[in-house]
Amino acid sequence: MFARWLPAAINTRPSEWSRAAIGMALGTMLSVWLCGQVFGMEVALHLIGPLGASAVLLFAVSSGALAQPWSILGGYLSAGVVSLLVAHVLGRTLGSACLAAGMALVLMCWLRCLHPPAGALALLLVLADPATITMDWKALGPVMLGACAMLFCALAYNNLTRIRYPKRAAEPVAVLPAGPPSIDSQAITAQDLKLALADMDAFIDVTPEDLEQLIHASELHAKRRSISEVFSSRP
């Protein structure tokens, strides 16, 4: 039971950790700096928490659905509009901030732009600092500027460091009719999946496209294993 609480192995190399860490630091710094130049550093620093969380997704797990361009742009816009609307109607209290976060989550799910840091953004905009409160609806300006700046940094940095971003939407896959199960030496095993994850050498937050690539890589390892078993079984 206690073994379930232990962290799973990370299938990435330290070089990938360093690449993501540098990108996160640069992306957050540039986004906050740009917001500070346009709207003042007090307002920009109030947004540093959600922007830093977004940077983790965009640079460390850029293959995931939560890190795609529409997720961060749509998520920030949804959270911004909902939180400011709730603040106008119900005031700026802890209860209204939590309500705004919940409503933002529902809206993001409906618009298919779920982005976890946007939940923190909704809380921050309701319980905002005085400089942000005086901006009223104009507070959407620094919010979207920060999101766009972070997205631009992710587009530039990830592709310059040979990480394809954003991910292309996966094509629909035809479902084959189910047949009787067969025992085949080329069937994918857990070990094949581990080897395939190691081959991909990237943070994996699985999308349909990544899963398809993972399955193809697993099948390749399964075929190699099957061939080696055939040769090893010969006298």
The total domain count for the chain is 2
Q: Which helix (H) or strand (E) holds 72?
A: helix 69-90
Query: Does residue 96 have a pLDDT over 90?
Result: yes
Q: Are residues 67 and 147 in the same domain?
A: yes
Q: What local confidence, expressed as pLDDT, does residue 123 receive?
A: 96
Mean pLDDT of 83-88: 96
152 and 202 both lie in a single domain: no
pLDDT > 80? residue 11? no
95 inside domain: yes
Is residue 31 domain-shared with residue 146, that is, in the same domain?
Answer: yes
Over residues 222-226, mean pLDDT: 75
| Interval 24-76: pLDDT, tens | 999 999 999 999 999 999 999 999 999 999 999 999 999 888 999 999 999 99
The arithmetic mean of pLDDT across residues 170-192, rounded, is 51
Q: Looking at the structure, do residues 70 and 155 belong to the same domain, yes or no? A: yes
Residue-level pLDDT at 15: 87
Is the same domain home to 102 and 23? yes
- DSSP state letters, 73-132: HHHHHHHHHHHHHHHHHH-S-HHHHHHHHHHHHHHHHHTT---THHHHHHHHHHT--HHH
* Cβ within 8 Å of residue 203, ≥6 positions away: 12, 16, 20, 60, 61, 62, 63
Give me the domain span that covers residue 196.
190-233
Average pLDDT over residues 12-26: 91
Considering the domain architecture, whether residues 30 and 145 belong to the same structural domain is answered as: yes
| Same domain, yes or no: 95 and 208 | no
Query: Do 47 and 134 share a structural domain?
Result: yes
Residue at 195 is within a domain: yes
Greatest mean pLDDT range, 111-120, 165-174, 209-218: 111-120
Q: Helix axis angle, 117-126 relative to 69-90, nearest 10°? A: 20
Domain co-membership, 71 together with 156: yes
Say if 175 falls within a structural domain: no
pLDDT, one tens digit per residue, over 116-132 is 999 999 999 999 999 99
Query: What integer is the mean pLDDT of 143-158?
Result: 97
Asked whether residue 214 carries a pLDDT value surpassing 90, the answer given is no
Q: How confident is the model at residue 181 (pLDDT cuts 50, 70, 90)?
A: very low
What confidence tier does 171 reach under pLDDT thresholds 50, 70, 90? very low
Instruction: Please indicate, yes or no, whether residues 56 and 134 belong to a single structural domain of this protein.
Output: yes
Tell me what pLDDT residue 39 has.
Answer: 94
Mean pLDDT of the chain: 84
Binned at pLDDT 50, 70 and 90, residue 147 comes out as very high
